[in-house]
Amino acid sequence: MAEIKIAAEARTEFGKGAARRIRREDKVPVVLYGHGADPVHLTVPGHQLMLALKNSNALLAIEAGSERHLAIPKQVQRDPLKGFIEHADLLIVRKGEKVVVDVRIVPVGDAVSGNLVVLENATISVEAEATHIPESFEISIEGLTGGDQILAKDIELPEGSSLAVDEDLLIVNVTAAPTEAQLDAELAEAEAEAGIEHDAPESDAPAEAEAPAESE
């Protein structure tokens, strides 16, 4: 993965008020930490950081004055409504060092018609070289049918990477799509458990005319 250069500035003001002022200038407060060093408090351009973090495991080259650090995002806080980055913790890494990261799973292809493909795990944890973290893993679901599965051990990992999860972790599960009758039966069962009752359907047949009363 290529390094993404980001120019940073030392941060000397702290607290909620200072953080709001930083964000008003379209900047983001960040903390660099790792390798036993004291945390380094910086500010970086907000738009540039947002673009860089479109890949969750981006390799950042943080340049602050004469100092330069390689780092990966460890924790990112976003505004719950607007989605902009409010704060980021960045982990300092070194070339040749290995780190454990979550890598996105991307299914490609199409299963056999009439089957459902369930992505049981959208990411998978791997141990990889900090400067060669995979952006994603593509897994083919082409031609899969009901009963087929893809496990963690079935994913082809690049050289230098290894699984950081159980090799039998289920990634993709393929099942036959339910029939309309099965769906109706499941719905009826769920309604019965919930105590939902339906009125009997009205008959379309005309009501029988009452017999005239017999005259004495």
- 147 and 122 housed in the same domain: yes
Together in a domain, 11 and 89: yes
How open is the CA angle 23-76-119, to the nearest 5 degrees?
140
Report how far apart, in Å, the C-alpha atoms of 106 and of each of 49, 73, 141 are: 24, 21, 10
Give the CATH number for residue 169.
2.170.120.20
Q: Which amino acid is at 26?
A: D
Can you give the pLDDT of all 216 residues of the chain as single tens digits? Answer: 678 999 998 887 777 787 778 888 888 999 999 888 889 999 999 899 999 988 878 999 999 888 889 999 998 988 888 888 888 999 999 888 999 999 999 999 999 988 899 999 999 999 999 888 988 999 999 999 999 999 999 999 998 899 999 999 999 999 987 777 767 777 777 877 877 776 656 665 555 555 555 554
Position 19 in a domain: yes
pTM above 0.75, yes or no: no
- Listed in sequence order, the residues at least 6 apart from 62 whose beta carbon sits closer than 8 Å to its beta carbon are 6, 8, 32, 42, 44, 68, 69, 70, 71, 90
Residue 172 lies in a domain: yes
CATH number for the domain that contains residue 26 = 2.40.240.10
pLDDT at 205: 57
* pLDDT in the model for residue 63: 92
Note whether 116 and 78 are same-domain residues. no
**Which three-class secondary structure string do you get for 180-192?**
HHHHHHHHHHHHH
Residue range of the domain that includes 12: 4-93
The tally of domains found in the chain comes to 2
Asked, for residue 208, whether it belongs to a domain, the answer is: no
Same domain, 72 and 106: no
Alpha helices (runs of H) in 99-139, residue ranges in sequence order: none
Is 191 contained in some domain? no
Are residue 130 and residue 80 in the same domain, yes or no? no
Q: How far apart are CA 63 and CA 34, in angstroms?
A: 16
Is residue 184 situated within a structural domain? no
Which residue among 93, 111, 142 closes a domain?
Answer: 93
